[in-house]
Chains A and B, each alone.
Chain A
Amino acid sequence: MAWDWQMFCEDTLDRTVREGCFGTGGDITYLDWMLSAWGWTVSVSLLALLLALVTGVVIGTLRTLPDSKWIVRFGNGWVEIFRNIPLLVQIFLWYHVVPAVFPAMKSMSGFTLVVLALGFFTSARIAEQVRSGIQALPRGQRYAGMAVGFTTWQTYRYVLLPNAFRIIIPPLTSETMNIFKNSSVAFAVSVTELTMFAMQAQEETGRGIEVYMAVTGLYIVSAFTINRIMTFIEKRVRVPGLVAPGAAGGH
């Protein structure tokens, strides 16, 4: 079976091979399309990561507050809800149900809704890691904060969170890589990211193996890049002697 990589240089409309592989004057080749799909994958993932980090840190911190039963329950409920519904179902909820319930959200694009879905889904996992990171710290740290007269906010801001963040960088690395992988589920609501491109280009050109190989390669490149960046951050902020608790599983 012969491989035909030339299909990437074909125009997506009339299937003629373009000089230089990139389309001109508004026409696009499959290569153009794939690179823009990669861009969508990266944008969905990074925005969802930002949302997940902010929400996850807040929820995870709330779950460790002393003497606030209802806040802790709210945090636990948040995590249970977003962890026990499959991501694809959550994406359908955001895409079909939420705009029907809140008419104000009808004008939101599929892209925004996928970012919300993926971000909140991941926030539950990050919240879980933030919680276990804070609880893994020696109790004395909290008491030390109280002893020097810090308020609860100050204890978290200056003592607990800076230490907890360093502990949870390894599990955060795998969560970041998971976001890139999970962004593939956006195909289901027609966001033209890599997986959607793979399915459509496969159908149009019949060159499934070449298309899938290129897309798989881009996913691996993305995962590898994230891994390098996070390792770099981890080295830069490391405090000697602090080690991470066992990393959580997941996809």
Chain B
Amino acid sequence: MNLSFDFSFYNWDLISNFILKGLYFSVMLTVVATLGGIFFGTLLAMMRLSGRKWLVVPATIYVDGMRSIPLVMVILWFFLLVPMIIGQPIGAEMSAVITFIAFEATYFSEIMRAGIQSVPRGQMSAGQALGMTYGQNMRLIVLPQAFRNMLPVLLTQTIILFQDTSLVYAIGAYDMLKGFEVAGKNYGRPIEAFVAAAVVYFVICYTLSHLVKRLHKRIAIIH
């Protein structure tokens, strides 16, 4: 076994020049894709639960289609198609943001669908009895409870999303992994760079998933 790693080249300059820049993009992408994904995912979930065929069919095809192809392929598709559609080139970073919102919306929609179905039917009926419209019912009664029930799952999905952001490697966007890779190349220490990347990803994801577990215990509603 050969364990002669040398991490001494990790000084503050390197970290701030290469890695923080990438970390910033990874975190930004995660946050934007989570918010956008939950928004569009909730819309997709409501379409699928609406019972109207012209809403159910397109939403189902979109969700199932996206979920059956690899994220890397989706990233490549968007990187190819978006500039064709809008008629001008966009950067890898912008393309990644659009891709992740569109892709993660399908995963969040499955979570929200389960969340909406977890709210007892009586709640909806009670709202109707008070004369609330469908929109009011959803916004004031069903969705707040659905979010609460699904919060741990939504957060777990966000952690998976954060890990998935490393796949923007396929189109050369500058995320945290890329930051480590470039730093490793520039200093001639690629092996240490990948080890450090793994450690940083692990610490972030492990800590977050631990927090989610604690939150889960705290907010669980006992039925």
Contact = CB atoms under 8 A, between A and B. Distances in A.
Contact of A184 (B1, B72, B153, B195): B72
A89 B177 contact: yes
Given A195-B72, A220-B68, A100 B201 contact: no
B111 interface: yes
B145 interface: no
The majority secondary structure among interface residues of chain B is: helix
A86 B163 contact: yes
B107 A103 contact: no
Contacts of B198: 85, 89-90, 93
Contacts of A237: none
A128 B91 CA distance: 39
Interface string A86-108: 11111011001100111100000
Given A85-B202, A93-B194, A181 B77 contact: no
A249 B153 contact: yes
| Most chain B beta-carbon contacts within 10 A, residue among A85, A183, A188 | A85
Contacts of B156: 249
Contacts of A120: none
Interface residues of A, number: 43
B201 A84 contact: yes
Contacts of B201: 84-86, 89
A37 to B, nearest CB: 13
A92 to B, nearest CB: 5
B122 to A, nearest CB: 22
A244 interface: no
B73 A85 contact: no
Interface stretch (B8-16, B130-138, B166-174, B214-222): B166-174
Given A88-B167, A93-B195, A251-B160, A212 B2 contact: no
A93 B80 CA distance: 29
B86 interface: no
Contacts of B166: 86, 88-89
B18 to A, nearest CB: 16
Nearest to A92: B194
Nearest to B153: A249
Given A93-B195, A187-B170, A195-B72, A84 B202 contact: yes
Interface string B61-76: 0000100111111001
Contact of B2 (A86, A100, A180): A100
10 contacts: A85-B198, A86-B166, A86-B201, A180-B70, A181-B68, A181-B69, A184-B70, A185-B167, A212-B73, A249-B111
A33 interface: no
Contact of A220 (B69, B194, B195): B69
Given A97-B191, A195-B70, A223-B69, 6 more contacts: A84-B209, A87-B163, A89-B177, A100-B191, A177-B68, A202-B76
B113 to A, nearest CB: 12
A84 B72 CA distance: 19
A219 B202 contact: no
A189 to B, nearest CB: 11
Nearest 6 interchain pairs by C-beta: A184-B70, A84-B205, A86-B163, A181-B70, A86-B166, A184-B72
Given A80-B206, A84-B202, A182 B70 contact: yes
